[in-house]
Structure 1
Amino acid sequence: MVPAEFTRTYQEVFDEVRPNFRQAIYRLRNVNVAWHGTVVKHTRVFVPSLPQPHMELEFAGLFLLRQFKQRPVPELATGPVGLAFDSWSGNYFHWIAEVLPRLALLRKLQPDCVVLLPGPTPPEYIMHTVRALGFQRTYTIAPGELVHVSDLWMPVRPGRHGYMVPSLVREVREAVMQHFSNDLRPEKKATRRIYVSRNRQQWRHLTNEPAVLQVLERYSFETVYFEEMSFAEQVRTMYEAAVFIGIHGANMTNVLFMTPGTYAVEMLSETYINPSYLSMASSIGVQYALIPSKLGSPLNVEHNYADITVDPVLVEQVVSEVCGVA
């Protein structure tokens, strides 16, 4: 249930990404690691530690010059140290979709290493997921801090941002679900219809949400706000979801915790075609549908922050079909 104009773009993206699904880990000796995950040795930035290769000029300029200042750089540990985050990993989606698969790779070779975390205080979802993947020793790099590591192990992010190796996605999901297994009630598995609202967040709102809610209420959807839940509550909610509807954004990341065979529906602007959540859903066997939406903000608003407007008729068409089989 993906419109043709989206399907063509999705296919082009996946055709480009699949050949780059390499799984590799760099081992680096005697390097410095900055608070945003950037690796430096002498006067050079290690480009694979950056979110994108073209960012080398940005980090090789003023940032690199600042590293020449006289200041203490503590030796972190004599044993192996793992790094799987970069300067984009403070975002929930990037942590779950990109860092965790890298940690899944890391634990195959260095399950007992010290794992570096972004500071100043990692949120609970970071701590829960690191523990879920079996890492017990961590070090949080404070903002502005630089640490020296004699033996650094850094998994490579497979493919482009947001596009995941299915086997690693499944491995991450299984680890997180096992971590929270005592909080999950099997009798409630895949029994609820959930709509997650973004209208209490800072941007990317659904401008005509009341009209959409009128449709969803007829199909017994309940509205939730993930920002009001703990990470454990979010995992449990998605475990209990038979049908999940959301707006493109970090909220959709929780598709990862749905049960295979359930249904995820994404409302996505026609001006910003992004198949990240189709990639995630298909990796774990969740059925995916898309409701094309219109731009709901002025054209000068950057697409990643823009509001959307969705036709309630389209919502009803998709929801009625999905709920008829879910």
Structure 2
Amino acid sequence: MARVKSGFRKRFNIRYLRWMLARATIGRIPALQRRYSFYPQAILPEAAATTVLEDARIDLPTLFSAEETDFVRDRCWLYDTLAGTWEGGPTVRIARFSGLIRDAVLLGHVSRIFVPERHAVVVALAQKGQANWNFAKPGKLRPAPSIGGRSFFLMRTDNYYHALFHDLVPIVDYLDRLHPRGMPLTLVVPKSRLATLALGCELIARRFPGVHVAELADDAVAPAAEALWLSFDGGNAEWTFADPAPVRHLAEIFRDHYAVPPGSGRRLFFSRGGSKIRRLLNEEALWEIAREHGFERFEAHAGNHAEQVRNFSQADIVVGVHGAGLGNLAFCRPGTKMIEIFPENFTKSTYLWLSKRLGLDYAFLVGGPGDYDQAFMLDENLFRSALAGALREPI
């Protein structure tokens, strides 16, 4: 099975053993915990919040067709992250929570909010009151200036999709619906190799009065007078916050920044290029088929975000292998066709869910089995038929 580690490999490696040793030593001695900012205890945001802004439970329609429901339940659920117990019904129970945590501490090395009064880090899914090794690590942190007023601490990520839909879209939604207009809000940005994350925060700050941006280094710790927490839980970590209004508002903010003109008619063959993960072994043959139908090949990278926004904004159809770059579907117009390609042994429902939320016309193609790096082949006749059907053109 591609890129899935066994329980043995997850637990018996140097990183995990080092963390377990730290938890058994530093984690049991309060003085050392404070010295190394290592807090293995976890608390749910609902318990940490001193003020609740929103706490809603909604039965949200999945909008899946019968074929899509079978695909998600029978194939994707095995690979979707933290997938719960959805049985394939027409709705899913989601929970949205927004709250304020007063007198908090922001830990740069784990990008977590720490609540001194509860002696715990805030984690959306706190398993038995324990924080896992991503949210609790020992590190000697230097004090940073206090952050007055209200602040939002972004998740540290180098994943483009997560930056858009776990950080930037929820911020825009909060500012549009819940934040008192003009009230100061500091977006605290952790260090990231993903320039889009910092740029998005800067653009949001320009758009909304009272919002400004501050960076918190990995080796820094800062007191925060009032930390904002935003959660969305659909019982499946692939089903992220994606209401149309804030997604389209964020897309508008980026398009305005890059001066992207309105347009349509483009057909994108979205390539993963030289990526090690999930390579299409017969990409050149598939590209030749796509080119016959008027497609242009495009690859996203750190230096061409303006092109990403423009190309997806003007696309009538996008064809591409599952990956973070498909987060650019945020910029597509309703009705845009999306054909997502998977290896047989790694199918996820991330962009099916997103497409349904944004009114895109979604289809999927499943190729052969992927190797450890998920490299795989897609049947060329299947691809040719899918393109012709989507475009209503001769095969």
Fold-level similarity (TM above 0.5)? yes
| 2:164 equivalent among 77, 90, 96 | 96
Contact 2:202 2:212 in 1 (8 A): no
Residue correspondence of structure 1 range 32-181 to structure 2 within 5 A: 32-35=105-108, 36-42=110-116, 44-48=119-123, 52-54=125-127, 56-59=130-133, 63=137, 66=138, 72-85=142-155, 87=156, 89-107=157-175, 108-109=178-179, 112-119=184-191, 123-128=195-200, 131-132=203-204, 134=207, 136-159=211-234, 160-167=236-243, 169-181=244-256
Equivalents in 1 of 2:302, 2:158: separation in Å?
A: 19
More helix by share: 1
Query: Which among 308, 333, 343 is matched to residue 234 of structure 1?
Result: 308
- Write the deviation string for residues 96-133 of structure 1: whole angstroms up to 9, x where unpaired: 12212321243232663001112156513541355247
For the Cα contact (< 8 Å) 2:106–2:224, is it kept in 1?
yes
Give 1:281 shift: 1.2
SS of structure 1 residue aligned to 2:106: strand
* Alpha-carbon contact 2:320-2:340 (below 8 Å) kept: yes
Gaps of 5+ in 2: 1-64, 78-85
Q: Residues 247-286 of structure 1 correspond to what in structure 2 (within 5 A)?
A: 247-286=321-360
Contact 2:123 2:131 (8 Å CA) reproduced: no
Change (3 A) 1:231 1:164: same
- Cα distance in structure 2, aligned partners of 1:174 and 1:208: 38
User: Unaligned 5+ residue runs, structure 1?
Assistant: none
Instruction: Give the aligned length.
Output: 307
After superposition, the CA RMSD in angstroms is 3.0
- Structure 1 runs (4+) greater than 6 angstroms displaced: none
TM-score, with length taken from structure 1: 0.82
What is the TM-score of this pair, normalised by structure 2? 0.69
**CA-CA distance at 1:214 after TM superposition:** 2.0
Q: 1:60 to 1:254 in 2, by over 3 A?
A: closer
Partner SS, residue 282 of structure 1? helix
The amino acid that maps onto 1:271 is N
Shift of 1:208: 1.0
Higher strand share: 2
Aligned mate of 1:308, from 362, 370, 376: 376
Evaluate the alpha carbon distance shift between residue 13 and residue 27 of structure 1 in structure 2; reply closer, same or farther with a 3 A threshold: farther
8 Å CA contact 2:344–2:370 kept in 1: the answer is: no
What fraction of aligned residue pairs are identical, expressed as a percent?
17
- Higher mean C-alpha displacement, 38-47 vs 270-279: 38-47
CA displacement, residues 14-51 of structure 1 (integer Å, 9 cap, x when unaligned)? 7598312x2221211222112232122237333335xx
Stretch of structure 1 that moved more, 137-146 or 104-113: 104-113
- Matched position secondary structure for 2:306: helix
Q: 1:128 to 1:228 in 2, by over 3 A?
A: closer
Secondary structure, aligned partner of 1:308: coil
SS in 1 for 2:143: coil
Match of 1:6 among 68, 71, 89: 71
Name the residue aligned to 1:321.
389
**Structure with bigger gyration radius:** 2
